[in-house]
Amino acid sequence: MEQKRILLIIGGGIAAYKSLELIRELGRRGIASRCIVTRGGQEFVTPLSVAALSGDKAYTELFDLDEEAEMGHIQLSRSADLVVVCPATADLMAKANAGLANDLASTTLLATDKPVLMVPAMNVRMWQHAATIRNVAQLRADGVTVMEPDEGAMACGEFGPGRLPDVPVIVAEIEAALSGQASGPLAGVHALITAGPTREPLDPVRYLSNHSSGRQGYAIASALAAAGASVTLVSGPVALAPPRNVNLVQVETARQMLKACEDALPADVFVSVAAVADWRPARAATKKLKIKAVDTEAPAMELAENPDILRTLSNKRKHRPRLVVGFAAETHDVEAYARAKLERKGCDWIIANDVSGDVMGGADNEVVLITRETSERWPRMGKDEVARRLAGKIAAELGHDGGLKLAAE
């Protein structure tokens, strides 16, 4: 890491005080910091303290006559190996997503050609707000690395996700970004995930499908990638941006999904989240089916059973993943049906959820983790939090749990 340099943008939040510790820890590892302190950031740390620790001037103003005579914001944006935003406030992420450039920090983010790492810190409601969720998803789709915040008590007195990760965790992420190597408790693990619905064609314009949005599967893929895993996401048709650092394979039908999963093996863990159609039309029409007359009876439809992807991968003789996790979407007797499914499919865990309400397509989920020995009910939480907690459980099961922050039990 000798002679590596980051450009650190310090946002306006109470967690800004930790940026001073971050500068010092990076310096001990030979990583130099050049810093921009936003106007909000200056409410919590002073440019003088930042300059003293970094050994460089702290930059604060876009319209600095001395700096801008030489287009200082452009030089700042190109002078580092990595741009780090810490803390990344909801406001800074919203500006970056929208491409705004009304201060030095946002202008530099828009002008940079370097990788960008954002370390969020904000109130739990702000982190879970639909606007922030959209902004984070789009930033990741644009190639920005957005770390997951920690969960815990906050300065405002509330509890939940939104705390700045511990400084050693941030340092490790920066070192990994600078070295171009994956880091985290699941580094070296290949995770295979399925998500979304499948579509089984009736004719060229109609199909059988379901209401799955794919949000839970995409959240799990993102959480596993954030934990350092190499992730292959096999997805049915959804209206979601691909998670960052994930190999996305898009399919339509159940048979296509099975083939894509088998092609992706070997894998260390398989999480079957997709809502796969159990049946398909035995013969799809090559032309649009027409109604011949008002009094004509509805045409009979012959159905064929689709392949069972979860059972197929659970019972592989060769290349069976070390851990196979299924999902059981039920509307009643959830735990009983899920445990029966675990036995029938031959998988290791089942995540059971009640989809009789707003789970399919919604932002929250309430699940039960069922293993062969135990049942563990989790409270209702955002799908991103379900994903983080599951990533922690997977890391612990595979013996890769060092340093992974689990959601509160």
Co-location of 153 and 225 in the same domain: no
DSSP 8-state secondary structure symbol assigned to residue 197: B
Residue 404 lies in a domain: no
CATH code at position 266: 3.40.50.10300
91 among the known binding-site residues?
A: no
Establish whether 156 is a catalytic residue. Answer: yes
Give me the tens of pLDDT residue by residue for the chain, a chain 409 residues long. 567 899 999 999 999 999 999 999 999 999 999 999 999 999 999 999 999 999 999 999 887 655 554 545 677 877 789 999 999 999 999 999 999 999 999 999 999 988 999 999 999 999 999 999 999 888 887 888 899 898 887 777 788 889 999 999 899 889 988 887 666 788 889 999 999 999 999 888 888 888 889 999 999 999 998 888 889 999 999 998 888 778 899 999 999 999 999 999 999 999 999 999 989 988 888 888 776 655 566 767 788 999 999 999 999 988 999 999 999 877 788 888 899 999 999 999 999 988 776 666 677 888 999 999 999 999 988 888 999 999 999 999 998 654 444 433 3
CATH code at position 150: 3.40.50.1950
Co-location of 67 and 146 in the same domain: yes
Nearest to 147 by CA among 183, 114, 178: 183
Convert the pLDDT of each residue in 70-124 to its tens digit. 545 677 877 789 999 999 999 999 999 999 999 999 999 999 988 999 999 999 9
Residue 62 lies in a domain: yes
Single out the residue in 146, 179, 212 at which a domain terminates: 179
Ramachandran bin of 214, using left for φ above 0, alpha for ψ from -120 to 50, beta for the remaining angles: left
Q: What is the pTM of this model?
A: 0.60
Residue 171 lies in a domain: yes
**Which of 35, 86, 156, 261 is the catalytic position?**
156
404 among the known binding-site residues?
A: no
Q: Residue 285: which domain range?
A: 190-397
Co-location of 144 and 220 in the same domain: no
Co-location of 348 and 281 in the same domain: yes
**Long-range contact set of residues 351-358: C-beta below 8 Å, sequence gap at least 24:** 351/325, 351/326, 351/327, 351/390, 352/327, 352/328, 353/327, 353/328, 353/329, 354/330, 355/329, 355/330, 355/331, 356/331, 356/332
Counting every residue written for the chain, the total comes to 409
Peptide bond into 87 cis (omega under 30): yes
Co-location of 237 and 367 in the same domain: yes
**AA identity, residue 174:** I
Co-location of 20 and 166 in the same domain: yes
Co-location of 151 and 70 in the same domain: yes
Single out the residue in 179, 201, 224 at which a domain terminates: 179
Residue 405 lies in a domain: no
Co-location of 151 and 197 in the same domain: no
Strands (E), 20-106: 31-37, 58-59, 82-88
Single out the residue in 179, 206, 227 at which a domain terminates: 179
Co-location of 145 and 226 in the same domain: no
Residue 406 lies in a domain: no
Residue 184 lies in a domain: no
Co-location of 126 and 243 in the same domain: no
Cβ proximity of 267 and 322 under 8 Å: no
341 among the known binding-site residues?
A: yes
Co-location of 209 and 91 in the same domain: no
* Pair of tokens at residue 87: 């803390």
- 94 vs 376: CA distance, rounded Å: 36
Convert the pLDDT of each residue in 341-389 to its tens digit. 999 999 999 999 887 766 666 778 889 999 999 999 999 888 889 999 9
Co-location of 22 and 70 in the same domain: yes
309 among the known binding-site residues?
A: yes
How would you classify the pairing of strands 381-382 and 364-365? antiparallel
Residue 59 lies in a domain: yes
Residue 82 lies in a domain: yes
In the chain, how many domains are there? 2
The owner of tokens 């979304």 is 196
308 among the known binding-site residues?
A: yes
